[in-house]
Structure 1
Amino acid sequence: MNNIFTHSKKGFLLVTLFVTMLSFANENPFYTVEVAAVKTTLTLNSVKEGSALSIKDNRGTVLYSEIIKVTGKYSRAFDLSFLPNGKYTFEVDKDLAIQEIPFRINAGNAFINKDKEKIVYKPFIRAVGDYVYINKLAIDGEPLEINIYFINKENKYEELILSEVASDASKIERTYKLKGLNLGNYKVVLYSANRTYEKTI
């Protein structure tokens, strides 16, 4: 089982991947926030149907979530006055990036912290024939932990067959050759920036 994978570090980059990410980063402005009395209105100026909006506390606990059902402009008013004083984040998960919009609650009022805004680029996993390609923008230098498991069809057990931590100044690119696809499936589990991403092949 040790030879199921042949590791190749050939450069692999999809132009469309970067176009999508760069267009996401260059939207201007991506959002606006209005606070009036106890209502905080978040307006997203350009979203796609299927994007996810959530509110998280500073421990990453999801307090609110929804799937956006419109393409274009989206607006929702929130009553955040019930939240205790502290730090929170609006997260917009779309395509291959997550926009983090941090804010704090003080005495029932919301204050956006624009200096702490961040875009988290998600890894892109693609399987073609016997190969699996993994790509990720790493603008902040975040390492990417890659774990690949073989899932036996008969016994349904999972065996870790590859584990590595990849890092790069700007982008991470990995290519792996799969063997024994007729014997079972593979599960790719990636960790980066305190987030987990999975895909079964």
Structure 2
Amino acid sequence: MKAFMNVMVFLMISMPLFSDSIVDPSVSVKRTSEKAFSLQVSNAVNEEVQVSIIDGYGEIVYSHRFVDEKDISRTYNLTKLPEGDYSLNVEKPQSLWIQPLAIEAGMLQIQEQALKTVFKPTIRAHEDLVDFDLLCPVNSEVKIRIFDESEEKPLYTETLETEGSLQKRFNLSQLEDGHYLMDVQINDGDQTFAFRKTIELEK
């Protein structure tokens, strides 16, 4: 579905990845005892890495930001947490790595089969052109919206099924100079992830 208001899209390429999921090899987790695990993040130099543990109600029970550490190696002890479902989130500038966890009968379970990596869209503005690049699992649904500063009504809306890699170019030459917002929602069939970026037009 598309709705246009002074926005032109004149390039679209969709390339299959032949995969249902994408894994970031720079992040790994391993159980070290009944309720503890180790986290390894490699090649994190010149990056900010946000590590969070979130419970089944969406509450953050732990969060720490690492800045400019080449290799991150930490052990986390969850003995004080009650039984239930959790997720370990590792957010990097270009991706979000999500590892579901569970504490059952006093034992930590790392649900490796449910591991997923969500790549953030790359959005680059150059004068009145905006290039959009996204890597996502096959059969994901992507919704793209562009708003002005009021965010009351989208100037452009498109929802599409992807085959893996998606590239688009937006021509915003008919819009006035100012700040605009690109809102991107990615649904992989299980969860919806939302990303936003401000675009400044100055022709």
Smaller-chain TM-score range? Answer: 0.7 to 0.9
Deviations 1:73-102 (A, max 9, x none): 212232312222222111111232222222
Is the alpha carbon distance of 1:32 and 1:74 closer, same or farther for their aligned partners in structure 2, counting shifts above 3 Å? same
Q: Distance in 2 between matches of 1:89 and 1:103?
A: 5
Q: In structure 2, the residue corresponding to 1:82 is in which secondary structure?
A: coil
Q: Paired residue for 2:79? A: 81
Q: Deviations 1:151-179 (Å, cap 9, x if unpaired)?
A: 2xxxx564421111122212122211112
SS at match of 2:71: strand
What is the percent sequence identity of the aligned residues? 23
Rounded to whole Å, the distance in 2 between the matches of 1:114 and 1:55 is: 16
Specify the alignment match of 1:165 in structure 2: 159
Aligned equivalents of 2:137, 2:107: Cα separation in 1: 33
Is the CA contact (8 Å cut-off) linking 1:58 and 1:87 kept in structure 2? Answer: yes
Relative to structure 1, the CA distance from residue 157 to residue 163 in structure 2 (aligned partners, 3 Å threshold; closer, same or farther) is closer
| Equivalent in the alignment of 2:7 | 5
Q: Does structure 2 retain, via aligned residues, the 8 Å contact 1:144–1:191?
A: yes
2:41 aligned partner? 44
Residue number in structure 1 paired with 2:18: none
Residue 191 in 1 paired to residue 185 in 2? yes
Q: Do the aligned residues in 2 keep the contact of 1:81 with 1:109 (CA within 8 Å)?
A: no
Displacement of 1:11:
4.1
User: Once the 2 structures are TM-superposed, how far is the Cα of residue 7 of structure 1 from its aligned partner?
Assistant: 2.2
The runs of 4+ residues in structure 1 deviating greater than 6 Å are: none
- Which consecutive unaligned segments of at least 5 residues does structure 1 have? 14-23
Q: Which residue matches 2:118?
A: 120
Q: Hey, what's the Cα distance between the residues in 1 that align with 2:109 and 2:44? A: 23
Residues 49-198 of structure 1: pairs in structure 2 closer than 5 A = 49-151=47-149, 158-178=152-172, 179-182=174-177, 184-193=178-187, 194-198=192-196
Query: Contact 1:80/1:109 (CA < 8 Å) preserved in 2?
Result: no
Is the CA contact (8 Å cut-off) linking 1:30 and 1:46 kept in structure 2? no
Residue aligning to 1:21:
none
CA RMSD of aligned residues (A): 2.6
> Closer, same or farther in 2 for the Cα pair 1:44/1:158, shift >3 Å?
same
CA distance in 1, matches of 2:136, 2:72: 29
TM-score by length of 2: 0.77
Q: Residues 102 and 200 from structure 1, CA distance in 2 versus in 1: closer, same or farther, beyond 3 angstroms?
A: same
User: CA 1:108/1:40 → structure 2, altered by over 3 Å: closer, same or farther?
Assistant: farther
Query: CA offsets, 1:11-62, max 9 Å, x none?
Result: 499xxxxxxxxxx9463x7324242355433233443441111112234433
TM-score w.r.t. the length of structure 1 is 0.78
8 Å CA contact 1:92, 1:98 repeated in 2: yes
- Which of the pair has the greater relative contact order for Cα pairs under 8 Å at 6+ separation? 2
Q: Equivalent residue of 1:99, what SS?
A: strand
Q: Is the 8 A contact 2:14 2:164 kept in 1?
A: no
Aligned 8 A contact 1:12 1:135 in 2 = no
